[in-house]
Structure 1
Amino acid sequence: MTHTTRQFITRTLVATAIAVTGSAASAADKTLDIGLSDSLTGPGAVYGLPQSNAVKMAVDEINAKGGIKAGADTYKLNVISYDDKANPTEGTNVVRKLIDRDGVKYIVGFCCSGPTSAVASFIGKEPVVMLVGNAAERSVTTQGASNLLRTRPPADFTGAAAGTFVAQKGAKNIAVIGNLDIFFYTQYLEAFEKEFTKGGGKVIAKESFGLKDRDMTPQLTKIRALNPDAILVIGYVEPAAFVYRQALEMGLNVPRFGFTSGSEEQFLKVATAEQMEGVWDLRPIELTLTALGPVAQAYADNYNKKFGMAAAPSSPYAYDQVYVLKHAIETAGTTDAAKVAAAAHNIVIPAESVMKYLPVAGKMFDESGQAYTANGAFQWQKGKWVYVSDLPSDALVYSAFLKTLRK
């Protein structure tokens, strides 16, 4: 072999190695963008920031395990996030930016119903998959959009069960105070009142407060004059905590029921543990470790380690979204949004799911793209929320009702 021949062979081998290495690097560097639209500032951030954290944690986990495999390709996930400020106009602008400028095919997050409902009204015409988390407005999954799926059940699915529970507790005359200008809260209340009345109870007052209100004494003064035997508080964590605290400060010592969600840390920013003692929260089971299994415990531990705080109860709705997306893409064998949406509609509950879902016909989502989690009665006892029991909830019956509302 001549010197010239050796040089030729060496150059050829080097070129081949570079080509192979470059090809492998190219395959390893494939990225799949996920858009996140959530309330990262303002009153809605109490739900939006934990959801955003949960999405990032799920993405980090998936990437650390090699990413998502779609056919012959493997993708690492990248999150592009924007703040919708719990505002319908901002929510619409964020999603338009994600689709039109950033070119994303998958959008997750959506903790608040205002921006989520606005986006749900047009998303069915877009070549994307939209996965909704904590937003509980019923109409989100009645728009007929086959590319929209939600992990949280609608508010009235929980409200009906709560009304039965409170009646069984012996309350007869209940006064309501809450964010009654927000539609999904009024849906919860309507379903609650219907079942509460069936059980022999009566709603004797309905007082409203705003998201930024902190002094509820005028409303509570009116309620106290009516001598109710219980109150029902419906609203975001912070104003609800002020109601719980101020009711006791005004001598309104009656059972306090609520529909708020929120962690112990979030409530303790406003009220003391003693002021919260005995309060009931009637909501989806969410992240309640005593009612869930080892997957939820691992989620809670990992979240605390990663972000230095306890995970908000509703945050796994967003975490589960990412794993729904992973399994849907891998089942579809492609990143084509329409095929991924179809696959998502037919998946069983992923093993990585944190929430306790009630399957419909063996699947995670019903025909409307709606998932259902079990509802629970929680009581504040000695500084923390304690799971007491499930609330009576029939996913099949509600799913059939929801289907009648689809456009």
Structure 2
Amino acid sequence: MKNELSLLTLTAVESKDTSHELKRMFLRAGVIALMSMTLSGCDAGGGGDTILVGEFASLTGKEATFGISSHEGTQLAIEELNAAGGVLGKKFELKTEDDQSKAGEPANVVNKLISKDGAIAILGEVASSRSLEAAPICQQNGIPMISPASTNPKVTETGDYIFRVCFIDPFQGTVMANFATNTLKAKKVAVFTDVKSDYSKGLAKFFKEGFTKAGGQIVGEFDFNGGDKDFKGQLTAIKSAAPDAVFVPGYYTDVALICIQAKQLGLNVPLIGGDGWESDTLVKIGGDAVEGHYFSTHYAADAASPKVTAFVEAYKKRYNGKVPDAMAALGYDSAMFLADAIKRAGSTEGTKLRDALAATKEFEAVTGKMAINAQRDAVKSAVILQVKGGAFKFVETVAP
């Protein structure tokens, strides 16, 4: 810009124009300089003094505890990264939008985070249905998206800019099928699926495949719609089928009511599910009715590993003694995974960042050591927890 100013000055002086013309030329130079500075400040989230990362989560609505937990974990990671100096000589700025647990909102807020705010990457969502809505937008814009906890395989099938730090439903479904067969010694299982949820339908599919492959029998398949309040008709039919266990791949609000009504009907067999169960609200709503039931998830807060212990202590200090659940741990891991990839890429440019994320062969996450496979899914272990004494207790770890 100095050379441009000099050239304009020289042109103005060498001409025999009036002093008015000279002033006009200097004004033009100033406008050009201002435009240049404005454009240079518009690099996608990484050209300023901070690196802007977008996050979308269900902070209100039906699955709000998921979104709040994942956001708190993400926020803690960003704060720790910034306290350590950030990456590439810059601090992170986290811009979070609430999708209200509603269809349609993920597209709105992610479009805003990319087009208006200039996010260099997107973190979110927990629910697979909402991640599936946002993923095509990130893919079309060449912006990497990292889901903390969406386990439906279709999420990363959207394209090569879409990643996750959790295991996927084929693995989780097989884990629970093997648990039902080997630990619970179940021979007959009924499956109760939320037909409005991609997460629930996917998990049910892979559980059924795994259980029947192991020699088990599916004695009934029953449906509900997420948000229903009365499940007694289906549960009465399930009881009549005399299963040894019931697989309920749903979210905690529905599961709690299902457990209450199952107990009222005398359906006294283990109910088992996936990571959609994990919320304190499950126990708050379900009370004694959820006691003794099991679910698979991504980590156990009472696991005795140094990384888990450090995370739990930091989280409790930051959030008034609150014990972090799996969604909080995965939110934390998603932000740390992004920061690690930025360091390795040496850039926040979309293509370079995508390539660094895809090249991850070993990353030490709170939720366990993981690698990213060719489908951009995390390869890692799962844990089984049991509701016991109003808390979630570690039962066993299952390797991939």
Structure-1 residue corresponding to 2:62: 43
Matches within 5 A, 1:151-190: 151-168=165-182, 169-190=184-205
Structure 1 residues 350 and 191: CA distance shift in structure 2, 3 A? closer
Structural mapping, 1:288-327, within 5 Å: 288-291=300-303, 293-308=305-320, 309-327=322-340
2:223 corresponds, among 208, 229, 248, to: 208
For 2:238, the equivalent position in structure 1 comes to 223
Q: What is the identity percentage for the equivalent residue pairs of Structure 1 and Structure 2?
A: 26
- Alpha-carbon contact 2:189-2:220 (below 8 Å) kept: yes
Q: Which residue of 1 aligns with 2:372?
A: 365
- Which residue among 266, 282, 291 is the counterpart of 1:277? 291
- Alpha-carbon separation, structure 2, partners of 1:367 and 1:223: 40
Q: Please report how far the alpha carbon of residue 96 of structure 1 lies from its aligned counterpart in structure 2 after TM superposition.
A: 0.9
Maintained 8 Å contact 1:130/1:148: yes
- Give the length in aligned residue pairs: 353
8 Å Cα contact 2:301-2:323 kept in structure 1:
no
Q: How does 1:28-67 map to 2 (within 5 A)?
A: 30-67=49-86
Letter in structure 1 aligned against 2:143 = V
1:336 equivalent in alignment to 2:349: yes
1:122 CA displacement:
4.0
From 123, 127, 134, give the equivalent of 1:112.
127
- Checking the alignment, whether the CA contact within 8 Å between 1:262 and 1:313 is kept in structure 2 is no
8 Å CA contact retained: 2:58, 2:66: yes
1:287 corresponds to which of 288, 294, 299: 299
| Aligned 8 A contact 1:263 1:311 in 2 | no
* 1-structure distance, mates of 2:328, 2:380: 13
* Distance of 1:205 and 1:181 partners within structure 2: 19
1:259 aligns to what?
274
Tell me the CA shift for residue 93 of structure 1: 1.3
Q: CA deviation at 1:240?
A: 0.6
Aligned to 1:219, the other structure's residue is in SS state helix
* Partner secondary structure for residue 368 of structure 1: coil
**Cα deviation code 1:238-285 (max 9, x no counterpart):** 11112122211221111222224445632221122x43332111x23x
**Which letter maps to 1:356?**
G
Which structure would you say has the larger Rg?
Answer: 2
Q: Could you give the per-residue CA deviations for residues 116-146 of structure 1, whole angstroms, max 9, x where no partner exists?
A: 1122234222132211111112111123x22
Structure 1 position 339, deviation (Å): 1.0
Cα gap change, 1:189 to 1:292, in 2 (>3 Å): farther
SS at match of 1:177: strand
The amino acid across from 2:165 in the alignment is T
Match for residue 368 of structure 2 among 348, 352, 356: 356
The letter for the 1-side match of 2:177 is G
> Is the 2:316–2:324 contact (alpha carbons within 8 Å) kept by the matching residues of 1?
yes
Shift in Å, 1:60: 0.8
2:253 to 215, 235, 238: 238
Tell me how far apart the structure 1 counterparts of residues 278 and 200 of structure 2 sit (CA, whole Å). Answer: 19
**Counterpart Cα distance in 2 of 1:185 and 1:381:** 24
Moved over 6 A (4+): none
Structure 1 unaligned blocks of 5 or more: 1-28, 359-363, 395-407
Q: TM-score, normalised by structure 1?
A: 0.81
Q: Tell me the SS of whatever aligns to 2:369.
A: coil
User: Partner of 2:42 in structure 1?
Assistant: none
Alignment partners' CA distance in 2, 1:265 and 1:123 = 32
2:327 partner SS: coil
Q: Tell me what 1:83 maps to.
A: 98
Q: Quick one: distance in 2 between partners of 1:249 and 1:325?
A: 47
Alignment gaps of 5+ in structure 2: 1-47
Q: 1:376–1:119: structure 2 CA closer, same or farther, 3 Å change rule?
A: same
CA contact (8 A) 1:323 1:350 kept: no
Query: Comparing 151-160 with 162-171, which one deviates more in the overlay?
Result: 162-171
Asked if the contact 1:240/1:260 (under 8 Å) is kept, the reply is: no
Deviation string for 1:353-383 (max 9, x for gaps)? 211134xxxxx21122111231222222333
Tell me how far apart the structure 2 counterparts of residues 307 and 181 of structure 1 sit (CA, whole Å).
33
- SS of aligned partner of 1:110: coil
With the length of structure 2 as denominator, give the TM-score of the two structures: 0.82
Q: Give the structure 2 partner of residue 4 of structure 1.
A: none
